[in-house]
Amino acid sequence: MRSAFQAPDLARLPIIVNVRAISLSEGVRAGLSVAVIIALNEYLNFAPLREAALAALLTCICDPGGPIRRRIPVLIAFALTGAAITAIYGLLREFGPIVALPLGVFGLFCSSFARIYGQAPQQLGGLLATVQILSLDRGNPSPAEAAILAASFIAGAVWAILLTMVIWRIHPFMPARRAVAEAYRQLSELTRDLHGLIQAPALPGTAWEAHARIHRRATREAIETARTAVMDTLRARGAASNRAAQAIIRVEAADQIFGGLIGLSDLLEHGSVTERSTARRVLRRMRAVILTLGRVVITDDPDAHRRIDRSIDAIVADARALPPDSRTRAAIDGITERLRIARTLAVPANLQPGVDPAGQEPPVWQQIIRPLRANLNWSSPALRHALRTAATAAGPLAFTMFWFTPYDHWLTITVVATMQPYFSLTYTRALERIVGTALGGAIAAAIGLVCTSPPSIAAGMVVLSISAFAIRSVSFGLFMMALTPLVVLLVETGSPQTGEWVIALARAGLTTAGGLVAVGANFLLWPSREPDLVAAEVRNAMAAHGAYAHANFSVLLNEATAAQLGQARRAAGVSTNALEALITRVLLEPGKQNRDALEAAMVIDAALRRCAGRLATLQFDPDLTARVPADSLRTWRDWVTASLTGLAAGANTISPRPDTAETDALARIARQIELMSGAIGRLDA
How confident is the model at residue 5, as a pLDDT?
31
* Boundary-marking domain end, from 469, 489, 524: 524
Same domain, 507 and 542: no
Same domain, 544 and 655: yes
How confident is the model at residue 79, as a pLDDT?
92
Instruction: Give CA torsion, residues 487, 489, 490, 493, to 10 deg.
Output: 160
- Does 685 map to a domain? no
- Does 220 map to a domain? yes
Same domain, 73 and 187: no
Indicate the pTM of the whole model. Answer: 0.57
**Does position 531 have pLDDT exceeding 50, yes or no?**
no
Provide the total of helices (H) and of strands (E) in the chain, helices listed first: 27, 0
- Does 388 map to a domain? yes
What does the alpha-carbon distance between residue 621 and residue 623 come to, in Å, rounded to a whole number?
A: 6
Same domain, 518 and 537: no
Same domain, 189 and 242: yes
- Does 431 map to a domain? yes
Confidence of residue 450 (pLDDT cuts 50, 70, 90): low
- Does 367 map to a domain? no
Same domain, 517 and 618: no
**Does position 83 have pLDDT exceeding 90, yes or no?**
yes
CATH of the domain at 264: 1.20.58
Same domain, 515 and 596: no
Over residues 14-27, the mean pLDDT reads 52
Smallest Cα–Cα separation from 27: which of 57, 71, 66?
57
- Does 465 map to a domain? yes
| pLDDT tens figures, 305-362 | 778 888 888 998 988 888 887 888 888 888 888 888 887 766 554 544 444 444 455 6
- Does 470 map to a domain? yes
Same domain, 341 and 247: yes
Over residues 632-654, the mean pLDDT reads 89
The domain total for the chain is: 3
How confident is the model at residue 263, as a pLDDT?
76
SS3 532: coil
Alpha-carbon separation of residue 556 from 551, 634, 637, 667 (angstroms)? 9, 10, 10, 17
More reliable by pLDDT, 669 or 475: 669
Smallest Cα–Cα separation from 184: which of 244, 280, 253, 243?
253
Same domain, 517 and 400: yes
Confidence of residue 556 (pLDDT cuts 50, 70, 90): confident
- Does 8 map to a domain? no
* Boundary-marking domain end, from 477, 505, 524: 524
| pLDDT tens figures, 111-126 | 888 888 876 787 788 8
- Provide the residue range defining the domain that includes 192: 174-301+303-345
Same domain, 132 and 212: no
Confidence of residue 547 (pLDDT cuts 50, 70, 90): very high
Same domain, 423 and 489: yes
* Boundary-marking domain end, from 508, 524, 540: 524
Of 193-197, 262-266, 494-498, 520-524, give the lowest mean pLDDT range.
494-498
- Which contacts of 327-336 are long-range, i.e. CB under 8 A and separated by 24 or more positions? 327/267, 328/264, 328/267, 328/268, 328/271, 328/275, 328/278, 328/279, 331/260, 331/263, 331/264, 331/267, 332/264, 332/279, 332/282, 334/260, 334/263, 335/257, 335/260, 335/261, 335/264, 335/286, 336/312
Same domain, 223 and 159: no
